[in-house]
Amino acid sequence: MSHEALETRKPLLDVRGLKKYFPVKGPLGTLGGVKGYVKAVNDVSFQLHAGETLGIVGESGCGKSTMGRTILRLTDPTAGQALYGDQDIFQLSGKELQKIRRDMQMVFQDPFSSLNPRKRIGQILEEPLAIHSIGDPKERTERVMEMMHKVGLQVDHYFRYPHEFSGGQRQRIGLARALVVNPQIVISDEPVSALDVSIQSQIINLLQELQAEYRLTYLFIAHDISVVRHISDRIGVMYLGQMVEQAPTESLFANPLHPYTQALLSAVPIPNPQRKKERIILRGEIPSPMNPPSGCIFHTRCPLAMDVCKQEVPPQLEAAPQHMVSCHFYTKP
Amino acid sequence: MDALGSNAKRLELSQVKQTLKKEQRRLQLRRFLSNKLMLTGSIIIVLITAFALVGPYLVSYDPYEMDPVKRLQPPGAEHLLGTDNFGRDLLTRIVYGARVSIGVGFSVALISAAAGMVIGLYSGYYRALDQVLMRICDGLMAIPGILLAIALVAALGPMTENVIIALGIVFIPYVARIVRSATLVVREETYIEAMKAQGASAARIIWMHIAPNTLSPLVVQATFIFADAIITEAALSFLGAGVPTPDPSWGNILYDGKLVIFKAWWMTVFPGILIILTVMGLNFAGDGIRDMVDPHSSLSFKRKKKK
Amino acid sequence: MTKPPLLEVNELKVHFYTERGRITAVDGISFHVNAGEIVGVVGESGCGKSVTSQAILRLLDEKDTVEYDGKILFEGTDLLQLPEAGMQKIRGNEISMIFQDPLSSLNPVFSIGSQIAESLMLHQQISKKAAFEKAIELLRMTGIPAPEKRVHEYPHQLSGGMRQRAMIAMTLACQPKLLIADEPTTALDVTIQAQILDLMLELNREQGMGMIFITHDLGVVAELCSRVVVMYLGQIVEEADVETLFAQPRHPYTKGLMKSIPQMDSDRSQKLHVIEGMVPTLDNIPTGCRFAPRCPYADYMCHERPPAYEEHAAGHKVRCWHAEKIAQEEEERSYVS
Amino acid sequence: GAQTAQTGQNEGAQPPGQGQAQPEPAKEPQAATGGELKIAYQAQPPTLDPHVTTSQASATIGRNVFETLVTADSKYHVQPMLAESWEQSEDGTTITFRLRQGIRFHNGKEMTADDVAASMNRWIQISSAGKDHFTGAVFEAKDAQTAVLTLKQPTATAMAILAYGGGNYPAIMPKELIDQADPKGVKEYVGTGPFQFKEWKQDQQIHLTKYADYQARSEAADGLAGKREARVDDIYFIFTPDSSTQVAGLLSGEFDIAADVSYDSVQQLESNPEIKVDVAPTGMLNLYFNKKKGLFANEKARQAIAAGIDAESILIAAYTQEKYYELNHNMMMYYQIGQWSSENGRESYNQNNPEKAKQLLGEAGYNGEEIVIMTSRDYEDMYNGAVAFQQQLKNLGVKSKLEVYDWPTFTELRNDENKFDILVITNTPKPEPSSLAFMRKDFPGWTNSPELDELLVKFRGAPNLEKAMSVYDDIQKWFYEYVPVVKIGDGNSISSSQKSVEGMTWLDGLILWNVSNAK
Amino acid sequence: MNLYLVKRILALIPVLFVVSVVIFLIIHITPGDPASVILGESATAQDVEALRQQLGLDLPIYQQYMNWITDVLRGDLGESYFMKESVSEAIFSHLQPTLSLAILAQIIALLIAIPLGITAALRRGTAADQTVMGFSLLGMAIPSFLLALFLILLVGVKLQWLPVAGYKPLEAGLWNHLKYLILPAVSLGAIQSALITRMTRSSMLEVLNMNYMKAARSKGVKERQLIYKHALRNAFLPILTVIGQTFGGLVTGAVVTETIFNIPGIGQLIINSVERRDYEVIQGVVLFVTCVYVFINLIVDILYGVIDPRVRLERK
Ligand SMILES: Nc1ncnc2c1ncn2[C@@H]1O[C@H](COP(=O)(O)OP(=O)(O)OP(=O)(O)O)[C@@H](O)[C@H]1O
Ligand SMILES: Nc1ncnc2c1ncn2[C@@H]1O[C@H](COP(=O)(O)OP(=O)(O)OP(=O)(O)O)[C@@H](O)[C@H]1O
Ligand SMILES: [Mg+2]
Ligand SMILES: [Mg+2]
């Protein structure tokens, strides 16, 4: 997919200034009162264009899953907008929200707990079709079986319970559930992390085929950089609730700008026991989202940190075409 | 990927599904049959229901026919289970009482379980509703059952239906709170969130996903209510609020038995045994249902395999 | 090797009783782990890795649905024969385990701090307060920010990676002789993954902790493990030390795996390599070689007779009729490149 | 010993005494004094103020505390108590009471004629018995020791009623308390009796203690009359609603006396060597007809029921065994036969003649409508009798429905003539027939018979009770013709006590003075 | 204070109001009134009517309610028609025995129920399970009076270890106090334990298969700890709910048991005042009982959140 034309087109999903704070409560729960906030997502903006894949990578706990869940309104946002077409998802309620959820599906990070242990796989997979009244029962079954087949599950698994599956199989069930309704946007939170490479590649191929066929749009959250690299058109790098760098894949890998991105890329393990490579080791305490550092959030661990980083929040800069980065290093060299 | 879209493949898939379905049905049946709890429970329930329905045609005495001279005769050849304090044949009275007692127990359990489940599920799911419904339940719990019963008979006259209504109302909050407590936890599970993400309506989530998880405490509570209703009915009949006298019910036989407890054990023991049996049947069946919806139970399969 | 290995699994079979009857999820696997050694386990999703590891600790629901065969010798004692009480002494103390599924493996009603502290107090004679302090320390070691606050949080309040790290901290607290790590780093970003791997290596070196490391990330295997076991459909199909395995895979499945890895320097427009066909279900296992239906090398014999699990070179065991042929091919390939 | 069931039967009537009658010498109980009596008592009284309530429980407990001017001996002869003597004027409309001297209330105040007048006037105004028999009568204190009762007309029953010791008895209390009393009763229980009121723990017990300054009479004790002596220091009436608990408490020695044990536990009690069982008459089981409305407004229908029932089997159902009931055609109780006895009605009683009944019913125009029988289960004998009665109605071809209510509901519903056809009630014994409930126009059942009115004028208008007795024969005759109620029979109640308890007698309830407990 | 608590406590007001109206209506629908009870068995309708007027019971019902509610708002629950004490005193004096009994019975019930329920769950399908379940069935199906009588006959009459009935306040000495309460508490506790046992068993079964149980076991947690700490807490919400309910039931009237054992508690107060139609007391007691339930349920709800941090009862 080419990204030249993207700028001019209207985005499919436009997220602006998304914030999500979780209150921190005392040991007595409800009684203790709020003690502070976890700033899980702190002012994130990005656009998602029809047919593209935006990969999200970032530190564990930086708010990727929360961002996905908030966009789908599974938890209420603290601030921000998420425009889908001309509707702000955050303003919708009830029926409208349910309708929009047909177009937006989510693959959950935690494959087991997102499956109802009392339901058979067939039921779980047919449910979204039933919810949106797609097809008659017979068609639904066929569609589900097809989907099971596509994600590498056997049709015989139709009547099994989730606990009878292995981790990877559960993950594929979650994926199948998201894909079965033919959504517009799929927010997938680590959809292939529990898969062995051969099935992983099968799934990635599937995702790409479906994308080509139906112009699907993916928000693809993953830790496996090589997978993200393979599938994404653009990649966003998150750190501590913020998007620190956003760029087309080639540009990012060829020229990672943000020091965090650089460290991240250097840490990717290589499947070759002979080749041991040099990693950028990040020093310093990882800051907590309850109490994020002032100025540039990365300054506490940044090898390039300057004085200004401690005080000023770096502005977003378009360092190369569509390559956005928030780092003082490039604005105030 | 291979050409999945082709018609041939589709046909094949639906065949697979056919065979799978058939297989599944067979398994379900086996699951049911090998579910000993369910089976015993159902058998007991069927037997007792039969006892209640057919029994009256088999006994040779009139349940009201009294013979004061023969009061409180111990079990013997003439009166298999002895006689009561009016010299009526106890077996006959128990047989006739079965219909009333099972009817009352069952209806009360059903009413309170159904209403309690709805209230519990919805107040567990919607926080705003919770505030209202649970406060109503608090109030309901506080109104003494005897008072309600006396008032109802006073207003509507002594009828078994009133007992059922009164007890049904009294027990609703108990079910509701139990169901709610289970709902509160399940509501926070990730798979419920996943259902929301799917666009499922609240009703769907509540009834298809949360409700099955509340089944097991519900069954326990409902069987308890069943037993309790049978006994409480008799207590109410002292106040004129129970089954109209001199119609027999297990509960009022038991209570009559209490007055002569020093002299006639049979009047408490036999209806007691029947109540226990019925409750046991229900409990077994209830546990059986629980096992059926529990994906982890396949106990009996192993047993069968291992010699 | 005169000393017996730390763990020796011998012809282990695990059967599940399901409503569809008995299925054999793990079908006669044998391998060993020496003290201080890190053994990687890779394999198809659903091939029985997790089941094997849980079987070693006898964590599967024995009473109801599971039956074991074979032997699991830990320092010479057969764990499968041990009474439950004996098993309890081993768990956590001698062998501990990181579960694959971090959210459902953490108790939702206890703060992660108290769960870690519990492990500590089980295995070390320390006070609750000290245990909590140690827990904070462990969380810090696994890279969780503001651990002194996080200890009081509950699993549902943590991100996927944090949960995983909490699990790891909990297991490390036990300082076991053998650690079974079932995909411990899937939810971690690479920087933290690196940090965790370093931590494990350190423990491995300093305390001689043996480790079974289950993962799909062949990169991690390459960096961490000394020996690798490859599983397919309930069986071990290949075992070798890392260098050999990566250099000269002799089983077609291993070979397929290697090829499927998306490379950092690959062409993105190319489709990823896949192993054709589907993994058969456990109640429908092919006669002959289990991989045969998907194997490019498969011939008549492969479909008819199951190959034996044989040692082809020193320490390199393979279950394939064509192992030699593949080895040769690989050699040629490496000459070419 | 005084009146108990075993000794009281069939003794000839003696002329009731006027003034100090000569009581027969009673043997002095030799048992020691001191100790306590724990009495398991089923019903908690609404109040101890006997002017207000007709409750029998109130009387049994309260008359240890309060005393009356005159009282009854075991044969219902009027005997003096707080009055030294009394005199009736020639025309019978004034009765002058001379009070005993030196009688002190429990609060230390001396009793005077003012107290008597205040108490008795209140009693006349508010008590059921007072209103019925003493309409327009007034008590006046003539001097400190003399109180004069002025009646509107001569009343033969007057002294008998003043001497009655059951529910609604005319207790004498201090004037101050009478003045402070509200409709619910007096605020404090202060009397002159051998025991004084100590404490009432609601729903738990009433505690009476010995009144040290009690001035006993010198005559030998007989019934309620004669010498009263507190032989124990404390009496506890422990409210024990559950009859099985009463029995268990007796067996374990927890209670000294159980006032009203259930018939079916007698066997259990008798088999225990430590325990004795006493039988005392308790009341009569009656079927009250609704004479205002419905089938039984017709005399024939009432006679039909009287003809059709088998009293004996109803009584067995109610009282379980022959020893606990008496077949008695007299409207009064069997132990009163010495005074109240008539051959009239003997052949109409307990006819057990279904044929006749059916015929009469047919004549009365009964055609299968449902008869409502109403009773309460607060009294087990009523309920059991009702159940048996209903069964007999069925044999007479009468369709019926039995409605059972708790007592307060019952007492309200029974006032509604649309709610029932027949009530099954037990009545407590009364000292003379005109006090019986069914004689009253305003009592449920609503007897309305000009014949009776005439008889009553004659009866009550007689100069004294002996003279009135001759009218009893006619009333009895009327009773079996008009059939205001069907008398089923007389019942006994069973009290049971430890063997260590001695001297317990009975008259309209347990008598607890002169009772010792050598435990 | 916390907003949630404030809201919950404020919610008490409408609840009390509605309950009081309902009770008032119910009481006045019910035939019989205090006048007829005061006057005793053989009073006539006229007598009763006269007393009714004197007591103000003939006023229109809304007026009676207004009179009553204005008193209540002034903090005066009224006077009993029968007792020489005010309604609040009556409630207070009847509360002491009930509280002692309830606490004791609850402890006994828990001591029986929790271990048994857990054992049954762990040994599911075995003889132990069946025995436990058999007993709990007995507990469910046997009327409480039978067990009470059995205990009285055995322990009170046969063995004479404990008094059969009655009550002594705490001031009479601890043993004197307890001695009267043991039998009733055991009989209540045993019956109540039936439901809790079953609830424990079935809730435990729900959690025993959870992954975290496996994980905890893999840490080497001892079986006891595993069960009592890890599993029980997860299974505890429904159990806590029934405990709350049984405790509520105990505090607000174990009528049958109190009657048999002659314990002058709230249950007796309720039944007696209903039987006597002691209007003021009934109303007062019902209001009190409402508060008790609201309070118990509030505590239970708060405990939900403490036991399971995922439970949220209010919006953020
Ligand atoms: N409780 C169970 N009942 C029935 N079958 C089971 C059960 N648990 C696991 N299985 C089956 O056993 C096989 C092996 O599962 P296991 O979890 O060991 O796979 P795995 O190698 O860990 O895969 P993954 O990498 O996807 O986690 C799977 O096919 C699974 O379906
Ligand atoms: N329900 C919640 N309550 C409180 N805090 C929460 C909750 N959910 C998430 N958080 C916090 O929000 C932050 C972001 O979590 P999130 O799950 O979005 O991270 P993530 O980027 O998905 O990480 P990972 O890669 O590890 O999954 C974390 O600090 C987490 O503790
Ligand atoms: Mg995440
Ligand atoms: Mg696994």
Residues E98 and E244 grouped into a single domain? yes
Q: Residue range D482-487: average pLDDT?
A: 91
Question: With contact defined as beta carbons under 8 Å apart, do C103 and A113 qualify?
Answer: yes
- Is E286 near chain B, with CB under 8 Å? yes
**Please, what is the average pLDDT of chain E?**
86
Per-residue pLDDT tens over the stretch E73-129: 888 888 888 888 889 998 998 998 999 999 999 999 999 999 998 888 888 777 888
pLDDT value at B109 more than 90:
yes
Residue D511 pLDDT > 60, yes or no? Answer: yes
pLDDT (mean) for D122-150: 90
The domain total for chain E is 2
**Residue E206 and residue E291 share a domain:** yes
> What CATH number does the domain containing B195 carry?
1.10.3720.10
pLDDT tens for D13-32 read 333 333 333 444 444 445 45
Residue A202 Cα distances to A107, A181, A212, D166, angstroms? 17, 20, 15, 100
Same domain, yes or no: E20 and E131: no
Classify residue B139: in a domain, yes or no. yes
- pLDDT of res. B108: 93
For chains D and A, tell me whether 3 or more CB atom pairs sit within 8 A of each other: no
Top-confidence residue, E223 or D149:
D149
pLDDT, greater one: E50 or B64: E50
pLDDT at C64 over 70: no
At B11, the pLDDT band (50, 70, 90 cuts) reads low
- How many domains does the structure of chain B reveal? 1
Give residue-wise pLDDT tens across range C202-236. 888 888 889 999 998 888 888 889 999 999 989 99
E12 → chain B, closest CA residue: B135
pLDDT, average across residues D435-448: 88
pLDDT attached to residue D165 = 87
Distances (CA, A) of A293 to A258, A301, A305: 17, 11, 13
Lateral strand order in the sheet of A13-25: A34-48, A13-25, A79-84, A87-88
User: If DSSP states are collapsed to H, E and C, what string results for C72-125?
Assistant: EEECCEEHHHCCHHHHHHHECCCEEEECCCHHHHCCCCCCHHHHHHHHHHHHCC
Contacts of B305 (CB under 8 A, 6+ apart): C17, C22
Q: Do E121 and E171 belong together in one domain?
A: yes
And the tokens for D140?
Answer: 């006046």
Output the six-digit token pair for A170.
């559960």
Confidence of residue D155 (pLDDT cuts 50, 70, 90): confident
Distance from CA of C68 to the nearest CA of B (A): 13
Whether C45 lines ligand 1, by a CB cut-off of 6 Å, is: yes
- Select from C12, C19, C22, C47 the residue to mutate for testing ligand 1; criterion: most ligand atoms less than 8 Å from CB: C47
User: Using CA positions, which residue lies closest to atom 7 of ligand 1?
Assistant: A164
Residues E159 and E128 in one domain: yes
The share of chain A scoring above pLDDT 70, in percent, equals 93
Look up the pTM and report it: 0.87
Q: Would you say residue B2 has pLDDT above 50? A: no
Does residue B260 lie in a domain region? no
* Residues E28 and E165 reside in one and the same domain: no
pLDDT of residue E315: 60
Quick check: D207 and D236 in contact, CB under 8 A?
yes
What average pLDDT does the segment D452-460 reach? 89
Q: Measured between alpha carbons, how far is C310 from C239 in angstroms, rounded to an integer?
A: 10
CATH number at residue E213: 1.10.3720.10
Question: Using one digit for the tens of pLDDT, what is the confidence trace for A21-42?
Answer: 988 876 555 556 677 888 899 8
The pLDDT assigned to B12 comes to: 67
Among A74, A197, A209, A229, the strongest candidate for a mutation testing the C interface, having the largest count of C CBs within 10 A, is: A197
Q: Encoding tokens for residue D78?
A: 């009027």
Which two structure tokens, joined as six digits, stand for D210? 């010995």
Q: Do A264 and C266 touch (CB under 8 A)?
A: no
Q: Which domain holds residue E203?
A: 87-314
Reported in sequence order, the residue ranges of C128-284 that DSSP labels E, i.e. its strands, are 178-182, 210-214, 227-232, 235-241
Whether C13 has a pLDDT exceeding 70, the answer reads: yes
> How many angstroms separate the alpha carbon of residue D31 from the centre of ligand 1?
90
Question: Which chain B residues are Cβ-neighbours of A108 within 8 angstroms?
Answer: 190, 193-194, 197
Q: Which residues contact C146 (CB under 8 A, 6 or more apart)?
A: A287, A288, A290, A291
- A240-295 per-position pLDDT tens digit: 899 999 999 999 998 899 999 998 888 888 777 776 667 777 777 778 888 888 88
Whether D324 and D6 have beta carbons less than 8 Å apart is answered as no
Q: Average pLDDT of chain C?
A: 86
What is the rounded distance in angstroms from the CA atom of residue E204 to the CA atom of residue B290? Answer: 13
Q: Hey, is the C-beta of B14 within 8 angstroms of any chain A C-beta? A: yes
pLDDT of residue C181: 92
Between E230 and A275, the higher pLDDT residue: E230
CA–CA gap between residue B29 and residue B40 (Å, rounded)? 15
- Taking residues C149-167, report their average pLDDT: 89
* Cα gap E83→D331, rounded to integer Å: 37
Local confidence band at C63 (pLDDT 50, 70, 90 cut-offs): low
Q: Which of E73, E96, E131 is the last residue of a domain?
A: E73
> Taking CB atoms and an 8 Å cutoff, what residues of chain B touch A161?
295
DSSP assignment string, E256-286: HHHHHTT--SHHHHHHHHHHHT-HHHHHHHH
pLDDT tens track for D351-378: 889 999 999 999 988 888 999 999 988 8
What are the backbone dihedrals phi and psi of residue D277, each rounded to the nearest 5 degrees, phi first? Answer: -125, 130
The larger pLDDT score, comparing residue B116 to residue B282, is at B116
Asked if B297 has any chain C CB less than 8 Å from its own CB, the reply is: yes
- Which chain E residues are within 8 Å of A27, Cβ to Cβ? 306
E145 lies in the same domain as E225: yes
| Same domain, residue pair E200 and E271 | yes
Q: What percent of chain D has pLDDT over 90?
A: 37
Q: Is residue B31 part of a domain?
A: no
pLDDT at A73 over 50: yes
Task: Specify the higher pLDDT residue, D81 or B256.
Answer: D81
Give per-residue pLDDT as tens, D186-203.
989 999 999 999 999 888
Check if CATH label 3.40.50.300 holds for domain A3-273+285-330.
Answer: yes
If one compares D467 and B95, the residue with the highest pLDDT of the two is: B95
Ligand 4 center–CA D267 separation, angstroms: 75
Residue B147: pLDDT band (50, 70, 90) is confident
Of the candidates D98, D83, D93, the one whose C-alpha atom is nearest the C-alpha of residue D150 is D93
Same domain, E124 and E61: no
**The predicted structure's pLDDT at residue B113:** 94
B225-281 confidence digits (pLDDT tens): 988 888 888 777 777 777 777 788 888 888 888 888 878 888 888 888 888 888 888
What pLDDT score does A66 carry? 92
Is C107 in contact with E225 (CB distance < 8 Å)? no
In the structure, ligand 4 is a single-atom ion and the residues with CB under 5 Å from it are A 166-167; C 50, 100
- Rounded distance from Cα E308 to ligand 2 centre (Å): 19
E58 lies in some domain = yes
Q: Helical H runs in E123-229?
A: 127-141, 144-151, 174-208, 211-218, 223-225
Question: Can you give the pLDDT at residue A276?
Answer: 63
Q: How far apart are CA E52 and CA E47, in angstroms?
A: 9
Domain that holds residue B217: 104-247+277-293
- Whether residue E168 is found in the same domain as residue E298: yes
Per-residue confidence at D114, pLDDT binned at 50, 70, 90?
very high
Which sign does the torsion angle of CA E193, E197, E203, E207 carry?
Answer: positive
